[in-house]
Amino acid sequence: ETGVTQTPRHLVMGMTNKKSLKCEQHLGHNAMYWYKQSAKKPLELMFVYSLEERVENNSVPSRFSPECPNSSHLFLHLHTLQPEDSALYLCASSQDLTGAYEQYFGPGTRLTVT
């Protein structure tokens, strides 16, 4: 595997379910990000991790819980979601947090909350 991978690619869950999204980067990067992409809205940054430490939580509801066990893996744990949480969730990584380097994106997980 190369680049940034995400699993699953599609997920349908009820509002009472608990599920997790997984992201893995094979680029040796130190920073990882979760974004939410909704229709007709700009991408919204959710969380930022640097060397497994969370450095940014962009006012995300507590029903989204990130986890970064090491610099290559990032999870997004989901519980008691709402229908408006249906969106494409993108993971990205970059060499560091300086902003000078591009972010590499995964293919995303298409989440539908029923």
Binding-site ranges for other proteins (CB under 8 A): 3-4, 31, 33, 40-43, 45, 48, 50, 55-56, 90, 94, 96-100, 102-103, 105-108
DSSP strands (E only) in the chain: 4-7, 10-13, 18-25, 31-37, 44-50, 53-57, 64-70, 73-79, 87-94, 104-105, 109-113
Q: Among residues 46 and 81, whose Cβ is nearest to other proteins?
A: 46
Q: For residues 4 and 74, which CB has a smaller minimum distance to other proteins in the complex?
A: 4
Instruction: State which H helix or E strand residue 102 sits in.
Output: none
Residue with Cβ nearer other proteins (17 or 44): 44
Sheet holding 64-70, edge to edge: 4-7, 18-25, 73-79, 64-70
- Give the nearest distance from C-beta 63 to other proteins in angstroms: 22
- At its nearest, how many Å lie between other proteins and the CB of residue 18? 27
